[in-house]
A and B are shown apart, each in its own frame.
Chain A
Amino acid sequence: MPELIVENIHLKYGTAEVLGGASFSVEKGKIAALLGPSGSGKTTLLRTIAGLERACEGRIRVSGQEVLNCSAGLDLPAEKRGLGFVFQSYALWPNRTVFDNVAYGLRLRKVAETEIRRKVGAVCEVLGLGHLQQRFPAQLSGGQQQRVAIARSLAYDPAVLLLDEPLSNLDAKLRDEARAFLKELITREERAAVIVTHDQIEALAIADTIILLNGGVIAQEGSPEDLYNRPKTLFTADFIGNNVRISGKVVTAGDGFATLDCDGLRVTGRMGQPKTVGEDGTAVCRMDRLTLAAPGEPDAVEMHRATSMFLGEKWEHVYRLGGHSLRVLTDGPVAQETSPIRIPRESVWVF
């Protein structure tokens, strides 16, 4: 049975519906990432799970115990849900030392002082904060503060850990390290974690399941590979990965594939939904899969090179046809003014 079950959460601010029926579940030792564009309700959903916002409909179970059931009028306050929460701002109490910050949850649970000392010491050790326990939050670096925030939410052994963009305040290098560390920690400590992020690379890297939100509803849910390789909607296909969108008319359809004619640019891709000839369609192409075609290769279109840029490792070229432009990466410079560009049909989705 999953540690965390979220069912059909609806939430309104005034009359504006911010969450319109979100459902998902997370198993022990697994990480779910809430991904979505800005304003899609990720933070709101996470806060609702924590009990910091009040849903108007829906159910939430933590470790098999119901904490929210709107139809039954059950809505436990945040302090009774026993979850761990890591705020984007870290929200460390500036008037308490690292030790006291981490110990707070245990103190509230009236744990004996020697036991508190042992537990806090252990958690701090795991997070590499052993020598910083007597410092105040203002005396720590951003990365250290983030680890204190995690330590504080782990100290009292919550089964479910909720993290709101925990890595967004860190610089790029630190973020990569912290990501790996976090993933390992959550798996090893066997918590169920929900992590909010707007960075799809981060979501793909860290999560066991990605829950893609769009306008307060779940657009798609699945493993990172699922979302990347089998998008079910235009939104998902477009949101995940680095894409270019081209619109046109369907000229052939069948066998799971469809071909679009976009002002002369012909693109073939998997049908994300059934299409018939003559219909309007949109193709989403993964930009990093575009290459210069070798002679005789399929899915190639002859295009005109508008400009080239040297990026250090690679060259980037902009190819044009009609009103459409594609960016193509190559290892070396290109001399020809026109070339066939390969748009592999496995990396194109038509909706």
Chain B
Amino acid sequence: MRNESWRNGVALLTALFILAPVGLIVWQSFLTDAFFSPRAGVTGATYGFVLDDPGFWDALRNTVVLSVGMVVIAVPLGSLLAFLMVRTDLPGRKWIEPAIFLPLFMSPMVLAFGYIVSIGPSGFWSVWWERLFGAPFWNVYSMPMLILVVGLSHVTHVYIYVSTALRTVPSDLEEAARVAGGSPLTVATKITLPLVWPSIAVSAVLVAFLGFELFGLPYVLGDQDGRMVLATYLYKFNTLLGRPAYQLMAVVVIFIMLITLPLVMLQRRMLRTAQRYSTIGGKATRAHLVPLGRWRWIAFAAVLLWLYAVVLLPLSGVMLRSVVTTWGPLVAVRDVLTWDNYAKLAEMPLIRRSIVNTVILAFVGGFASLCVYALIGLASHRSPLKTTRGLDFLVLLPRAMPGIVAGLVVFWIFLFVPVLKPFVASLAAMWVAYTLVWLPFGLRLVSTSFGQVGRELEEAAHVTGAGALRVARDVTLPLSRHGLMAAWLLAFLLYSREYSTGIFLMGQGNEVMGTMLVSLWNGGNIDVASSLAVVNTLVIGGGIALALRLGVRLDA
């Protein structure tokens, strides 16, 4: 008899992995106290409490403003960037291309530190500016600045969607319009834009959704004025009332997911439509590039300026800050140069451990997560079953879960299940949370790789006498190994960068660089934080270099 029960088994475990945390959140939101407390009773008052808190409405308003602002900045710029890169003779496209993906892998914590030490009140650039022109006109802690920073750092997300769509628009459509007498600008707006419109819309929804996930930048840059977004509001509940108010946190999580889940579903639907649009051309013809004329160098300078603002400016700031003992208006750099900050990294056991832990989690944990994703991917690969197809829908839930939320619920699950409880502050708990957060992304990567293995190659093994697992071992996995390697590398990069997922899970012994950066910031230890930020960036940079070397696509 055909044995498909293993597929059902895997699907069931995955569903449990996804639904248990969600169920726990819902349950917790209706309790008067933490779910493990004997005094906890059922109530609906928690919702009232949160809804009556003006702080919640402030946070909600800020989040909406932030997310709309991001869309307004990132979508036009990202689309323009895509058009410049794909359709015009912009100089230096070849080396700009990989640089565009750098913001994807910049840790928001590093970015945030970078801005503070570069253009903050006594940052390098502020001080230099003041010496030359007088008091700077900007305030890094202001809301417009925050919107600008998050907007610019999400240009890449838009770029990825729009450039992919642009590449499938056959250039003969544009050429026909040019021949008919349209100027380059008319053609771009009348012919090209309508064709990539669906992809632009998809990316707008994505960016709006990412706006609700933001944690690091608003946390660091909005902290001074006590300006909160939903994610930082949630984090504050951990300490606000003297001890963690789990029931209120659960309510906030539910409110966050009530916004993100529809956005994720909307994006999924729109993506399908967009893909149907973009396959009409299909044939990759050599595009005829639009000459920019004298705009060439202006456009080039604009792209460089953007790269400077989102990569170089913050990075140079933390790098410089990491090699000076102190910094202020009256200090000259050469007087305060030092390597001590790096020596301190090695001396402080906590920090040393966080570096080691990060590398273990990113390298070994990334591989372990990949194995999990591959198992789930195999179960639904060419599966005739409804159960595995349901997974496709179920993964929208973790997708709608911001990292900080996933970390929180995994923390709760570990508290909730007696056998897991001793491991609540272990690297294993951290790994579980990371695996949950990146499940939708990882699953998509492995499914794409499996999908590229020819169907008949697998069937040939079946008729030759191999069962499902043999086929996976002998055909599917070996033939998709490049895609799997790439997925591992991407997992490594993302895990090294991750900071918000681990916040609630951090305890004695399982510190990672990302969470360490958050707590160094909390403690005001800027010297060490800067040098740790540099180390974090170096690890990620090494991963990126390796990825480029191996030809792994960073925009997967």
Question: How far, in whole Å, are A109 and B462 apart by their CA atoms in the complex?
Answer: 13
- Residues in chain A near residue B456, CB distance under 8 A: 87, 89, 91
Contact between A78 and B462 (Cβ–Cβ < 8 Å)?
yes
Smallest beta-carbon distance A154→chain B, Å: 11
Smallest beta-carbon distance B15→chain A, Å: 25
- Residues in chain A near residue B461, CB distance under 8 A: 93, 104
B464 at the interface (CB under 8 A from A): yes
- Residues in chain B near residue A93, CB distance under 8 A: 457, 460-461, 474-475, 479
- Residues in chain A near residue B131, CB distance under 8 A: none
Contact between A156 and B465 (Cβ–Cβ < 8 Å)?
yes
Contact between B464 and A77 (Cβ–Cβ < 8 Å)?
no
Question: How far, in whole Å, are A105 and B460 apart by their CA atoms in the complex?
Answer: 10
A336 at the interface (CB under 8 A from B): no
- Residues in chain B near residue A95, CB distance under 8 A: 478-479
- Residues in chain B near residue A89, CB distance under 8 A: 454, 456
Given contacts A95-B478, A95-B479, contact A81 B463 (CB under 8 A): yes
Contact between A87 and B460 (Cβ–Cβ < 8 Å)?
yes
Mask, A93-124, CB within 8 Å of B = 1, is 11100000000110011000000000000000
A57 at the interface (CB under 8 A from B): no
Q: Which residue of A lies closest to B460 (CB)?
A: A91
Find residues 60-95 in chain A having any chain B CB closer than 8 Å to their own CB.
Answer: 73-85, 87, 89, 91-95
Residue B464 contacts which of A51, A52, A75, A108 (CB distance < 8 angstroms)? A108
- Residues in chain B near residue A50, CB distance under 8 A: 459, 463
Find residues 108-161 in chain A having any chain B CB closer than 8 Å to their own CB.
Answer: 108-109, 152-153, 156
B2 at the interface (CB under 8 A from A): yes
Smallest beta-carbon distance A153→chain B, Å: 8
Smallest beta-carbon distance B202→chain A, Å: 29
B288 at the interface (CB under 8 A from A): no
Question: How far, in whole Å, are A109 and B470 apart by their CA atoms in the complex?
Answer: 12
Question: How far, in whole Å, are A152 and B465 apart by their CA atoms in the complex?
Answer: 12
- Residues in chain A near residue B463, CB distance under 8 A: 50-52, 78-79, 81, 83-85, 153
Contact between B457 and A108 (Cβ–Cβ < 8 Å)?
no
Find residues 158-190 in chain A having any chain B CB closer than 8 Å to their own CB.
Answer: none
Residue A79 contacts which of B454, B467, B479 (CB distance < 8 angstroms)? B467
Residue B462 contacts which of A52, A94, A153 (CB distance < 8 angstroms)? A52
B1 at the interface (CB under 8 A from A): yes
- Residues in chain A near residue B470, CB distance under 8 A: 79, 108
B466 at the interface (CB under 8 A from A): yes
Question: How far, in whole Å, are A109 and B467 apart by their CA atoms in the complex?
Answer: 12
Contact between A104 and B2 (Cβ–Cβ < 8 Å)?
no
Contact between A87 and B466 (Cβ–Cβ < 8 Å)?
no
Smallest beta-carbon distance B7→chain A, Å: 13
Mask, B121-133, CB within 8 Å of A = 1, is 0000000000000
- Residues in chain B near residue A156, CB distance under 8 A: 464-465
Contact between B454 and A82 (Cβ–Cβ < 8 Å)?
no
Find residues 357-410 in chain B having any chain A CB closer than 8 Å to their own CB.
Answer: 384
- Residues in chain B near residue A92, CB distance under 8 A: 460
- Residues in chain A near residue B2, CB distance under 8 A: 75-77
Smallest beta-carbon distance B3→chain A, Å: 7
Contact between B479 and A77 (Cβ–Cβ < 8 Å)?
no
Question: How far, in whole Å, are A88 and B454 apart by their CA atoms in the complex?
Answer: 13
Smallest beta-carbon distance A12→chain B, Å: 13
Task: Name the residue among A52, A74, A82 with the largest chain B CB count within 10 angstroms.
Answer: A52
Question: How far, in whole Å, are A54 and B384 apart by their CA atoms in the complex?
Answer: 10
Question: How far, in whole Å, are A76 and B3 apart by their CA atoms in the complex?
Answer: 10
Contact between B460 and A108 (Cβ–Cβ < 8 Å)?
no
Residue B1 contacts which of A75, A78, A82, A153 (CB distance < 8 angstroms)? A75
Find residues 439-470 in chain B having any chain A CB closer than 8 Å to their own CB.
Answer: 454, 456-457, 459-467, 470
Mask, A33-74, CB within 8 Å of B = 1, is 000000000000000001110100000000000000000011
- Residues in chain A near residue B465, CB distance under 8 A: 79-80, 82, 105, 108-109, 156
Contact between A108 and B475 (Cβ–Cβ < 8 Å)?
no
Q: Which residue of B lies closest to A88 (CB)?
A: B456
- Residues in chain B near residue A105, CB distance under 8 A: 464-465
- Residues in chain B near residue A83, CB distance under 8 A: 463
- Residues in chain B near residue A51, CB distance under 8 A: 462-463
Contact between B459 and A152 (Cβ–Cβ < 8 Å)?
no
Question: How far, in whole Å, are A156 and B463 apart by their CA atoms in the complex?
Answer: 11
Contact between A79 and B475 (Cβ–Cβ < 8 Å)?
no
Smallest beta-carbon distance B456→chain A, Å: 4
Given contacts A89-B454, A94-B479, A95-B478, contact A79 B466 (CB under 8 A): yes
- Residues in chain B near residue A54, CB distance under 8 A: 384
- Residues in chain B near residue A104, CB distance under 8 A: 461, 464, 466, 474
Smallest beta-carbon distance A60→chain B, Å: 14
- Residues in chain B near residue A152, CB distance under 8 A: 460, 464
Smallest beta-carbon distance A56→chain B, Å: 13
Smallest beta-carbon distance A133→chain B, Å: 18
- Residues in chain A near residue B474, CB distance under 8 A: 93, 104
Given contacts A89-B454, A109-B465, A156-B464, contact A78 B479 (CB under 8 A): no
Question: How far, in whole Å, are A52 and B464 apart by their CA atoms in the complex?
Answer: 12
Smallest beta-carbon distance B500→chain A, Å: 40
- Residues in chain A near residue B479, CB distance under 8 A: 93-95
Residue A77 contacts which of B3, B460, B478 (CB distance < 8 angstroms)? B3
Smallest beta-carbon distance A318→chain B, Å: 39
Question: How far, in whole Å, are A104 and B454 apart by their CA atoms in the complex?
Answer: 18
Contact between B475 and A52 (Cβ–Cβ < 8 Å)?
no
Question: How far, in whole Å, are A94 and B474 apart by their CA atoms in the complex?
Answer: 12
Smallest beta-carbon distance A100→chain B, Å: 10
Contact between A78 and B459 (Cβ–Cβ < 8 Å)?
yes
Q: Which residue of A lies closest to B481 (CB)?
A: A95
Smallest beta-carbon distance B474→chain A, Å: 7
Find residues 1-17 in chain B having any chain A CB closer than 8 Å to their own CB.
Answer: 1-3
Question: How far, in whole Å, are A254 and B475 apart by their CA atoms in the complex?
Answer: 64
Question: How far, in whole Å, are A191 and B231 apart by their CA atoms in the complex?
Answer: 69
Smallest beta-carbon distance B453→chain A, Å: 10
Task: Name the residue among B3, B464, B475, B479 with the largest chain A CB count within 10 angstroms.
Answer: B464
Find residues 125-165 in chain B having any chain A CB closer than 8 Å to their own CB.
Answer: none
Question: How far, in whole Å, are A54 and B456 apart by their CA atoms in the complex?
Answer: 16
Smallest beta-carbon distance A95→chain B, Å: 5
- Residues in chain B near residue A91, CB distance under 8 A: 454, 456-457, 459-460
Contact between A52 and B459 (Cβ–Cβ < 8 Å)?
yes
Question: How far, in whole Å, are A80 and B466 apart by their CA atoms in the complex?
Answer: 8
Smallest beta-carbon distance B382→chain A, Å: 11
Find residues 288-326 in chain A having any chain B CB closer than 8 Å to their own CB.
Answer: none
Question: How far, in whole Å, are A125 and B466 apart by their CA atoms in the complex?
Answer: 25
Question: How far, in whole Å, are A78 and B471 apart by their CA atoms in the complex?
Answer: 12
Question: How far, in whole Å, are A93 and B462 apart by their CA atoms in the complex?
Answer: 13
Question: How far, in whole Å, are A105 and B461 apart by their CA atoms in the complex?
Answer: 8
Question: How far, in whole Å, are A76 and B462 apart by their CA atoms in the complex?
Answer: 12
- Residues in chain B near residue A77, CB distance under 8 A: 1-3, 462, 467
| Beyond known contacts A77-B467, A104-B466, A105-B465: 12 more, CB 8 A cutoff | A52-B459, A52-B463, A73-B1, A76-B1, A76-B2, A79-B463, A80-B465, A82-B465, A89-B454, A95-B478, A108-B464, A109-B465
| Top 4 closest pairs, chain A to chain B, by CB | A91-B456, A78-B462, A91-B460, A85-B463
Q: Mind listing 26 A-B residue pairs with CB under 8 Å?
A: A51-B462, A51-B463, A52-B459, A73-B1, A76-B2, A77-B1, A77-B2, A77-B462, A79-B466, A81-B463, A82-B465, A83-B463, A87-B460, A89-B454, A89-B456, A91-B454, A91-B456, A91-B459, A91-B460, A92-B460, A93-B461, A105-B464, A105-B465, A108-B464, A152-B460, A153-B464
Give residues in B with beta carbon < 8 Å to A.
1-3, 384, 454, 456-457, 459-467, 470, 474-475, 478-479
